[in-house]
Every structure is written in C-alpha cells, then in structure tokens.
Amino acid sequence: MAVGLPEDSLAISAQRLDIMKQMESFAEEKLVLLKAPDKCWQPTDFLPDSTSENWHDEVKALRKTSESLSDELLVVLIGDMITEEALPSYQTLLTATDGFLEGLGTHMSPWGQWARGWTAEENRHGDLLNRYLYLTGRVNMRSVEETVQFLIRNGFDPQVSRDPYKLFIYTSFQERATKISHGNVGRIAEKEGDSMLAKISTTIAADEAKHESAYKLFFGECLKHDPDGAMIAFREMLEGKIAMPSLYMEDGKTENLYDVFSVVAQRLNVYTAMDYADITRHLVEFWDIPNISGLSAKGRDAQEYVCKLAPRYARIAERTQTRIVSKGTPVSFPWIFGRTA
C-alpha cells in the first residue's frame, strides 16, 4: 500500500483491489480474446519475404506503390506508428494499476496474463508500421526514431492514478480512437492506390476493435459491482479530458509537434474532434449510463454530467473542424525530409 495517501484514497484503493479480485473469473473468461502467437498474424505476413529470390523486386514494387501516398497521409501514418512504438509506457501504466501489480513478472493471475497478452499483441503494430515505412524510402527514419525515443522518455500520464476503473475507461476510449484512426488510414491508402498499406492498417484496426471490446466489458463489470464508484470515476476521467498517448511527442525541431500532427489528422478526417464526441456518446450508450440506478447523490450528479457531454462536445467539434479546414497552414515536418503537410 502506498505511503502518504489520504485515508479516503487508501479506502478507495482497497475497495478497488477487492472488486478486481472478484472480477478475476470474468477476466479469465476474456483471455480467449488473446490468441496464441502461432495463431496471430505477424509483421512478416504483410511484407516482402527477405528469404525469397524475388525480395528485391517485391521491395521495389512496395516503394513504387507507396509513391502514390500523399505527404499528409505519411505524416499521419508516422504519428500513428510513433504512438504504437511507445508501448513500454502503456504497459507500465497497466502494470502500475491496482489489481495488476501481482501480474508483474510471470505471475499467472488473470489480470497478469491479460496485461502481458495485450502487450504482446500490441507490440506487432508498431513493428509492422515501422518496417513498412522504412521500406518505402520516403521517410526520414532517423528523425522518426528520435521522436519515438523522445516520446518514451517524456512519459505518459492519462490521470488514471492507479485506479482500475479509470484505466478501463481510458483504454476503452483509446482503443476505439486508435481503431478509428487506423481504419481511416486504411481507407485513404486504398483510395490513394496502396492496397498493401490499406490491408496493414485495417488489420491493425481489427486488433484495436477486439481490445476495445474487452476493456468495455471490464468497465461494464465495474459498473455492476460498484455503480456509484464507477460512475464517479467516469465523470472524473471526462472532466480532465482523455489525453492522447502521443501528447508528449517531440522531434527536437518542430514546435508543438503533437498539435501540428493532430491538425493534419483532422484535415484528412483520420481522427477528429467529432470522433472524440462520437466515442463519448458511444461509451455512454454502450454502458447504458442513463439507466443505471442505485446511485448516491454524488453518483447521480456524475451520471447527469456524463450524459450531457457528448452533445456539447459535438457542438464544439463542428466549430473546431470548420476552423481547422479553412485556416490550416501547412507545416514542414523533419519526418518527411522537411516537406510540408
């Protein structure tokens, strides 16, 4: 138990630990969503076979096809890849959360198995996108690699505070966001003539959808066990806004790198403020938030607050998107050798 925490925080932490223990059998049932490595796709399934006599021709074909991709799409793809490559930060977040701590090392608790299995599946995403981008020859990989190192070194703080309820809210939101982003990259890649990248991106999006499903079910169980505490946690997470995992990315050259990357993503409709509003609406509906009963006064207040947020976000998003599309100024990105996007 942490030293120096207020008594109420210690009590909440103890309660959460007890509920996570009660949910172990539920978590164990969901381990079937995580496939064995020999049943999963692997990055090499999508890329030129380096053992083949035709490898050089396959790489040339990949490079030729990738020439059709716009610089804007490349920037968004690179940003998505960098986000995936910062996996060590996300695993640290998971294993530092109450209920997951005993899963460190090789402990076979259901939560420990989930944390390691999820990390193992996610690890393929960055690997695949990294190798694809390297083979295209269109990207300054040194700059990209430096950005990955900056992001991992800078850290990541989604304001979860070791609370498993908040963790499941965050991961439900974030997995859906990455599913949307990768899916839209795949759609645009197909439109721009790169069917290989389209297949890569939609495959990763399917993984994210599976993980989203699990985390939504986990929080749904939290609501059943502790509707009041879970509702209040939902409000607290949305009050602080859901921070994107690449928020602290930098390349040592571009000012406010995350902000300018985000603008390009919004211009392409890969991930927008309206998507943020839609995800909020979806989660409220999926967890049937308006109809949860048995709440305290504080819980009912949180419920009312959460139910009103999505429409408000949507109104803000409409104004934001119009401003970004009409006033966006192209920025030079070291990732693509100083070309603008």
Active-site residue flag, 178: yes
**pLDDT at residue 103, rounded to an integer:** 56
Instruction: Please report the pLDDT score of residue 325 as a whole number.
Output: 67
CB neighbour list of residue 218: distance below 8 Å, 6 or more residues apart: 23, 26, 27, 30, 168
From the candidates 121, 207, 212, 251, which is the catalytic residue? 207
CA separation for the pair 276, 174 (Å, rounded) = 10
Active site residue 84: yes
Q: Are 133 and 143 in contact (CB under 8 A)?
A: no
Q: Say what the pLDDT of residue 102 is.
A: 63
Cβ atoms of 86 and 123 closer than 8 Å: no
Q: What are phi and psi of 214, to 5 degrees?
A: -65, -45
162 neighbors 9 (Cβ within 8 angstroms): no
Establish whether 208 is a catalytic residue.
Answer: yes
Q: What is the pTM of this model?
A: 0.94
Can you give the pLDDT at residue 79? 98
Catalytic annotation on 122?
A: yes
User: Could you confirm whether 287 is annotated as catalytic?
Assistant: no
CA distance 275 to 83: 18
Per run of 10 residues, the mean pLDDT along the chain (length 341 residues) is: 52 88 97 97 98 97 98 98 97 91 76 95 98 98 98 94 96 98 98 98 98 98 97 96 94 95 95 96 98 97 97 90 73 97 94
Question: Going from the N-terminus, what domains does the chain have, and what CATH number goes with each?
Answer: 7-32+56-336 (1.10.620.20)
Residue with tokens 């959808």: 209
**How many degrees, rounded to 5, is the angle at CA 294 between CA 289 and CA 299?**
60
Catalytic, out of 85, 98, 208, 251: 208
**41 is known as an active-site residue:** yes
Which member of 72, 122, 212, 226 is catalytic? 122
